[in-house]
Amino acid sequence: MQHTIKADEGWRVWWQLTRPHTLTASFVPVLLGTLIAFRETAIDPVLFILMMLATLFLQAATNMFNEYYDFRRGLDTEHSVGIGGAIVRNGVRPQTVLGIALGLYLAAAVMGLYIAAHSSWMLLAVGGVAMAIGYLYTGGPYPIAYTPLGELFSGVVMGMAIVLISYFIQTGHVSGFALALSIPSMILVAAIMMSNNIRDLEGDKESGRKTVAILAGRSNAVTILAVFFIVSYAWIIGMVLFGKLTPLALLVLLSIPKPAAAIKTFRKELVPLKVMPAMKATAQTNTFFGLLLCIALFIEHWFL
């Protein structure tokens, strides 16, 4: 039964509805792509800001579509674990959530028009595909989130494509270097989705989902997550060893305690509520890894 949201808690409900811990999957790739471009050219601040806002809006809208369709399919209850469930726990009207998500999509589309007009109209098609995937992730008759392709789609679209688009709108092309640096970003965004699916494994199984975590089994899924982390760090080490990055890029190694904590918690705990810190540590891995790599690129450009 829905209830009225108190004024002093309303902003918290709406903020949680965006699922803020996932927004680094938007923020970090945009910043990374822009700083890779900064090695070659001056940055257009307007394009950077609009790209950042559009990407954040798309991510928040995708989270709201997830909220709406999880409710419609009966997956969210008052006892659901996580920060979702604003509809069943906080009395937010389902149509309001859907309306705000569509409004965010519209705002992102307007920003996309400006970005395309000042870079390439080809980006309208790319942006349209990204928006469609965001909606179809949990919407439509065959949601991507119900399949083993969730990690792939989220990683490629949010982790890789956003890096490359952010780079492209500043430089007008896509380089092999930018593509190489988008690989660990892609993997770590996929890791965020994997950690979510590990936590929700039992509930997802009951709802008929066929995620990688379900198909592989919990123990193997945690191992796959660990491999995601290892490959991401090894990729940067490899680029340093092959002279594609300076040793400054090894700053990313300072973030290793986060993935280590995530894997330790996933191995130790089984109860969804108790593995929430592991999900947080996974998201923080993406954040700290990406920001440290950005810092390295910035220092390299200005001081080396």
Domains of the chain from N-terminus onward:
7-303 (1.10.600)
Crossing angle of helices 162-171 and 24-38, in 10° steps, is 30
pLDDT of residue 68: 85
Distance CA 218, CA 92 (A): 33
Q: How many angstroms separate the Cα of 155 from the Cα of each of 183, 188, 212? A: 9, 7, 14
How many other CB atoms are there within 10 angstroms of residue 263's CB atom? 20
Structure tokens at 154: 């989220």
Dihedral angle computed from the Cα positions of residues 96, 100, 102 and 103, in that order, rounded to the nearest 10 degrees: 130
pLDDT of residue 12: 63
Rg, the chain, Cα only? 19
Residue in 206, 203, 108 with CA at minimum distance from that of residue 162: 108
pLDDT of residue 215: 95
Q: Is the pTM of this model over 0.95?
A: no
pLDDT of residue 205: 86
pLDDT of residue 7: 41
Distance CA 35, CA 27 (A): 12
Can you say whether the dihedral through the CA atoms of 21, 26, 27, 32 is positive or negative?
Answer: positive
**pLDDT averaged over 10-residue windows placed end to end, the chain, 304 residues:** 46 64 82 95 96 93 85 62 53 82 95 96 93 89 90 93 97 96 96 92 85 95 98 98 96 98 94 89 95 94 74
Identity of the residue numbered 143: P
Q: How many angstroms separate the Cα of 257 from the Cα of each of 36, 182, 184, 288, 289? A: 26, 22, 17, 10, 11
Distance CA 115, CA 82 (A): 35
Structure tokens at 253: 């190694």
How many other CB atoms are there within 10 angstroms of residue 214's CB atom? 19
Residue in 203, 252, 216, 257 with CA at minimum distance from that of residue 232: 252
Contact 94, 75 (CB under 8 A): no
How far is CA 30 from its chain centroid? 11
- N-to-C CA span, the chain: 61
pLDDT of residue 185: 96
Residue 41 has, within 13 A of its CA and on its CB side, a CA count of 14
